[in-house]
Amino acid sequence: AGAMRINQDTVLRGKKVTLVPYTAAHVPRYHEWMQSEELQRLTASEPLSLEQEYEMQRSWRDDADKCTFIVLDSGRWPGQAEEDSMVGDVNLFLTNTEDPSVGEIEIMIAEPSCRGRGFGKEATLLMMAYGVRKLGITKFEAKIGQENEASICMFKKLHFKEVAVNSVFQEVTLRLDVSDQERGWLLEQTNHVEEKSYAELKQPAGVLAS
């Protein structure tokens, strides 16, 4: 098991969204989302069978250079079932062998009703602050399809700058170097966030009232 198991008991609770570890319980809903041709296009991914999706979840969980959270609607969870509160996912890939302090970030708000409401922005901020605090990240990159203007615009609001365009893959690369000033801004933007234990939050209420 690699370092990325680090977040397997981590819950990051923000105002609009709560990030929880991606577990097998989330796979059916995630698989349902990924049947959408629009999401396949936006995430440049192939449709998988449910069985493949379970395998993928296991490999992500055990992968030392990937950190994945499922994005839940804070207004619904806890309270409603997690599957019913899922709105998307956010990933951080530490795949730059020359520079382990670079994190490539990906965000997907899969539920159409939750787009354009600041969910993606807060989820990305939560993940960035986590990467800076816990994983030693000092540079973020995001690779986004050229037609995905909403996402490009959101990353620019988070101080990312466009650094490259790949016309073959029709993809834009945005980058943010986390200077002391940016780090301060990031921690300020996320100072309302509570970090909790996933195992404890999943206990039925009665168990905790000891």
pLDDT tens across 12-35, in order? 999 999 999 999 999 999 899 988
Give every CB contact of residue 11 below 8 A, 6+ residues apart in sequence: 18, 19, 20, 21, 195, 196, 197, 198, 201
- Whether a cis peptide bond, with omega within 30° of 0, leads into 21 is no
Two structure tokens written together for 143: 């690779």
Q: CA torsion sign, 68 to 70 to 71 to 77?
A: negative
pLDDT digit string (tens) for 153-162? Answer: 999 999 999 9
pTM: 0.89
**Integer Cα distance of 141 and 144 in angstroms:** 10
The pLDDT assigned to 1 comes to 36
The pLDDT assigned to 204 comes to 62
**Integer Cα distance of 66 and 79 in angstroms:** 29
What is the pLDDT averaged over residues 52-73? 88
Q: Which domains does the chain possess?
A: 3-200 (3.40.630.30)
Alpha-carbon torsion, ordered 29, 53, 120, 118, to 10 deg: -10
Element (H, E) at 41: helix 37-43
Does residue 81 sit in helix, strand or coil? coil
71 neighbors 17 (Cβ within 8 angstroms):
yes
pLDDT digit string (tens) for 90-128? Answer: 999 998 889 989 999 999 999 989 999 999 999 999 999
